[in-house]
Structure 1
Amino acid sequence: MANEEKPCPCDLGDKLEYGGQGQEVQIEHIKAYVVKPSSASNKAVIVIQDIFGWQLPNTRYMADMLASNGYIAICPDFFVGKEPWSPTDDWSTFQQWLEDRKPTNINKEVDAVLRFLKDQCGAKQIGAVGFCWGGVAVHYLSLQYPELKAGVSLYGIIREREDRYELKSPTLFIFAENDAVIPLDQVSTLEKSLLEKCPVDYQVKIFQGQTHGFVHRKREDINPTDKPSIQEARMDMFNWLANYL
C-alpha cells in the first residue's frame, strides 16, 4: 500500500531469512526493534514498516544496514499490536484492514519514539526512512515534524492533503518505473507541484525498469539484473541522510 487515496495490494517479494542484530524493546505503549551502531552516535533514523509489519526480516535488515552506517536505527510497531497484512489474506478485505492502520494517523507513536530517542539514546539529529506504507508515513511526517532533519520516502505518496507539497523536512522520494501501485503520472504531479510549492530541499528519483518494493524486498543474489538499481537506491538513501543529519 503506497497510495492512501486508492491503495493497492503489493507482493511480499523475497523474504529474507534474517534474524537481526538489534533487540526488541518496549517504548511506552508500543514495541520497537532497536539496533545501535558500533560506536557512539547522536544521530538516529526511524525506520517505518510496510504493510507486512515491523517484524519483517527485510525491514530489520535495512535497519541494521543503517546502524552499520553509524545511525541509531529504530523500527517501531506502528500497527500498535494489530496484525500486519499477510500474503495469504483475502485482498478483498484490504480496505477494511487498512481502516485502523492509516499511515497518516501515527503521531502518538512518533511522539513516543522521539522521546525515547532523545531521552534514552541521546539522539540530537533524527531522520526517517519508510517503505511502501512507511513511505506514505515519511511523506506525512515531513509535513508535520520540522524537527526531523531528513526523510526518505520509498515508493510512498500522499495525495489527499491540501498541504501535501509544503514539506518541512528535506525529503528524498524514490519510485520505481513499473510500479503497479504508484503510476508515473502521480510521480510527475508530485515533482511538478513540489517545484512550485516546496520550501525545503527535495529530490524525486525514478528507477527505470524497477517494480514496487525493489529496494527492500528484492534480494540481489536472486535478482542480479536488479542489483545495480537496488544498490544505487540504497546509496542514495545513505547519501541523503548523511547530507542532512
Structure 2
Amino acid sequence: MANEACPCPCDIGDKFEYGGLGEEVQVEHIKAYLCKPQYSSDKAVIVVQDIFGWDLPNTRYMVDMLAANGYIAICPDLFVGKEAWSPSADWATFQEWLKTRPARKTDKEAEVTLKYLKEQCNAKKFGMVGFCWGGVVTHHLMLKYPEIKAGVSVYGIIKETEDRYNLLNPTFFIFGEKDPVIPLEQVTELEQKLKAHCKTKFEVKVYPGQTHGFVHRKREDVNPEDKPYIEEARRDMIMWLNKYI
C-alpha cells in the first residue's frame, strides 16, 4: 500500500484525548459511531476510518465536527469487528494484515449504512468522507453509488485506485505536500487521468508542508505552523459537502 519502510504512516502519537459527543449504534452486522446535529436535517455523511479503526478519537472528532455543521454523521466499522492496526505492531506484517481488510470489498457495509440512515435517521441526501484507508474506500464507492452525491478522499493511497477514474459524483481529493507514501508525481498523474476520464466535477488539492494524516490529527499542538493548513483542509471539506449534497 505504501513504501516498505513505513507502509502507511498514520502516526497517532498526537492522538486526541477526546470522548465524543455521539453514541455507538448497531447497524445490522456492524457497529457504528453516530452523531446528529442539534436541529433536524435530511443530509448525512458517512465517515470512513483509517487503519486505526472506527473508534479512533480523532475520527470521532471529525464525525462530531460534521454534525456541528448540520449533517447526520456516522462512522461504521468497515473492518467488521476485526482488530484495527496497532501503532505498536510490526510494520513488516502490515501488508498481510491489510489483505484481510480490502478497501474495495466494503459495498455490503456501505449499503447497510445507507439503509440505516434512510430508515432510522430519515436522511435523504448523502455524502462520504474517508481518511487514508477510508480515502481509498471513498474513491471506490464514488465509482459505484450514484446516491452518494459528494465525496472527499483524504490522503487515500493513489496506487490502490489506479485505472479507476470515472467518478459518478463530485469528489474532492486532499493530499499533503510532504506525504512520504503519496509522492507528488502520483498526485499529478491522478489529476491528469481524472481530467481525461472523469465526467463529473472533481478537485485535487495539495496542502503545503503537510504530511500523511494532517487533517484529522491534532498536529497544531505539536507544530503550530501546521494549524492554518489543518483548518483550511477542514473548511474545504465542509464547503465541498455543502456545495454538492
Q: What is the TM-score normalised by the length of structure 1?
A: 0.95
Question: Would you say the 8 A contact 2:151–2:170 is kept in 1?
Answer: yes
Q: What amino acid sits opposite 2:100 in the alignment? A: D
1:106-125 equivalent positions in 2, closer than 5 A: 106-125=106-125
Contact 1:13 1:218 in 2 (8 A): no
Q: How far did residue 90 of structure 1 move?
A: 0.8
Tell me the equivalent position of 2:175.
175
CA displacement at 1:180 relative to structure 2:
0.7
Helix, strand or coil at the partner of 2:89? coil
Equivalent residues in 2 for 1:40-79 (5 A)?
40-79=40-79
In structure 2, what is the equivalent of residue 95 of structure 1?
95
SS at match of 1:214: coil
1:237 match: 237
Q: Which residue of 1 is the match for residue 8 of structure 2?
A: 9
SS of 2:46's partner is strand
Confirm or deny: 8 A CA contact 1:158 1:164 kept in the other structure: no
User: Is residue 152 of structure 1 aligned with residue 131 of structure 2?
Assistant: no
State how far apart, in whole Å, the 2-side matches of 1:9 and 1:71 are: 29
Give secondary structure in 2 for the equivalent of 1:63: helix
Counterpart residue identity of residue 8, structure 2 = P
Give the C-alpha shift of residue 159 in structure 1.
3.3
Residues 13-32 of structure 1: matches in 2 within 5 Å? 13-32=13-32
1:127/1:151 contact within 8 Å kept = yes
Question: How many angstroms apart in 2 are the aligned matches of 1:94 and 1:228?
Answer: 32
The residue matched to 2:101 in structure 1 has which SS? coil
Unaligned runs of at least 5 residues, structure 1: none
* Range with greater deviation from structure 2 (104-113 or 149-158): 149-158
State the one-letter code of the partner of 1:8.
P
Structure 1, residues 189-234: CA drift from partner, whole Å, max 9, x if none?
1000111110100000001111001000133233211000000000
1:131 matched residue in structure 2: 131
Normalising by structure 2, we get a TM-score of 0.95
Q: Work out the CA distance in 2 between the residues paired with 1:209 and 1:161.
A: 24
Contact 2:142 2:169 in 1 (8 A): yes
4+ residue stretches of structure 1 with deviation over 2 A?
157-163, 218-223
Number of corresponding residues: 243
Q: Take 1:70 and 1:132, find their aligned partners in 2: how far apart are those partners? A: 24
What is the distance in 2 between the residues matched to 1:186 and 1:158? 7
Q: Secondary structure at the match of 2:220?
A: coil
Q: What's the secondary structure of 1:120's corresponding residue?
A: helix
| 3-state SS in 1 of match to 2:178 | coil
Q: Which residue of 2 aligns with 1:218?
A: 218
Deviation of the 1:23 alpha carbon:
0.3
Are 1:139 and 1:157, in contact at CA under 8 Å, matched by a contact in 2?
no
- Supply the distance in 2 between the matched residues of 1:13 and 1:114 (Cα, whole angstroms): 33
What is aligned with 2:197?
197
After superposing the two structures, state which structure 1 stretch, 98-107 or 153-162, moved more: 153-162
Question: Contact between 1:13 and 1:217, CA under 8 Å: does it hold in 2?
Answer: no
Sequence identity of aligned pairs in percent? 64
